Amino acid sequence: MVQIESVKGPIDTSDLGFTLSHEHVVVSSAGIPQIYPEFIQREKSIKEGIRALSAAKAEGLDSIIDVTTLDLGRDIDMLKQVSEGSGVNIVCATGTWRDIPRAFWSATSDSVAELYTREITVGIEGTDIKAGIIKVANDVGGVTREGEIILRAAARAQKQTGVPISTHTWAPDRVGEQQVRIFEDEKIDLSRVYIGHSNDTMDIHYLEGLMDKGVWIGLDRYPGGRTMGTPDWNQRTETAMKLISDGYGKKIMLGHDWSVTISIDSKEGQDSRNKYNPDGYLFITRHVLPKLKKLGATSQQIDDLMINNPKRFFDGK
């Protein structure tokens, strides 16, 4: 039996249940939740997080992987309150997103890896809450010099702790391939790597090529279609079905990349997000899974995507 860390303490991987593989509760920037809580309306965000995840739990959600890092405004106490209030397991992250701190630009990967490792083995922000996943990011333009520092740091922390890696990528530029090359150079077990945001493309050759290397892929931007030239949710779901039909259904996980609050200093901005996805964390349950069934996915294949694959990923199998 394998245990992983959640914000409420260790849980068995069998308790993950129906899992969304790439989500957030609140997205902002480093220090904002602690120093300027009024900017994200922190207490309101906690209440909305509890409401939204409680509603999702009522329709079958058991767990989310919250990949909010320091530079994305991670607030560990907030995550614990939302998990306790909603009953949804939340696995939180160490690592670094795209806003790589300037202090890391000239750091060694080993020195950054020590920081990630501490948050995995000791705790985060002076608490005993430990990270259950390592998040790193590279975007348009690929892996930058400072981006390579954090990728190698993540790889070294992964080898030391056994905790898996989740990446942010820009799939239209096949950035996942660049990430995999660095992980190969670091000689980590690629079955402990999840290449995220892979459904921003319909390039089946690229996606299957990644999985042939041994990594998992996250089809974790739903509904999608907001960025010029990226697939809408129907196209994303058709791509998922193609991958399942080609025999890759046991290497895929689904998520939204959703959050209840993002640092938008206007009611109009927040309303626009909610209009774009009024279902929030339930879009996959209400729209994507029924579409997959219409396209021919079996109940077993759906269970693999949402239940069995997340467990196997964290089990290290």
The answer to whether 180 touches 143, Cβ cutoff 8 Å, is no
User: What's the CA gap between 131 and 80, in Å, rounded?
Assistant: 12
User: What's the CA gap between 35 and 192, in Å, rounded?
Assistant: 35
Tokens encoding 176: 């996942």
User: Per-residue pLDDT for 273 more than 90?
Assistant: no
3-state DSSP assignment of residue 76: helix
Tokens encoding 314: 């964290």
Domain range for 252 = 3-315
Q: What is the mean pLDDT of residues 275-282?
A: 94
**Structural domains counted in the chain:** 1
Q: Can you spell out the DSSP letters for 102-168?
A: HHHHTS-HHHHHHHHHHHHHT-STTSS---SEEEEE-BTTB--HHHHHHHHHHHHHHHHH---EEEE
Q: What is the mean pLDDT of residues 254-266?
A: 82
The answer to whether 223 touches 258, Cβ cutoff 8 Å, is no
Number of neighbours of residue 14 by Cβ within 10 angstroms? 12
| pLDDT digit string, tens, across residues 1-31 | 799 999 999 999 999 999 999 999 999 999 9
| pLDDT digit string, tens, across residues 221-246 | 999 877 778 999 999 999 999 999 99
| pLDDT digit string, tens, across residues 167-210 | 999 999 999 999 999 999 999 999 999 999 999 999 999 999 99
Task: Give the chain's mean pLDDT.
Answer: 95
If pLDDT is split at 50, 70 and 90, which confidence band does 39 have?
Answer: confident
User: What's the CA gap between 269 and 259, in Å, rounded?
Assistant: 13
Task: Give the CA angle between residues 60, 120, 44 to the nearest 5°.
Answer: 50
- pLDDT score, position 266: 58
Tokens encoding 104: 């890391």
Q: Domain holding 48: CATH number?
A: 3.20.20.140
Tokens encoding 290: 């029924």
The pTM of this model reads 0.96
Q: Can you spell out the DSSP letters for 77-121?
A: HHHHHHHHHH--EEE-EEEE-SS--HHHHTS-HHHHHHHHHHHHH
List the one residue out of 255, 253, 231, 266 whose CA is nearest residue 301. 253
User: What's the CA gap between 221 and 62, in Å, rounded?
Assistant: 19
- pLDDT score, position 274: 81
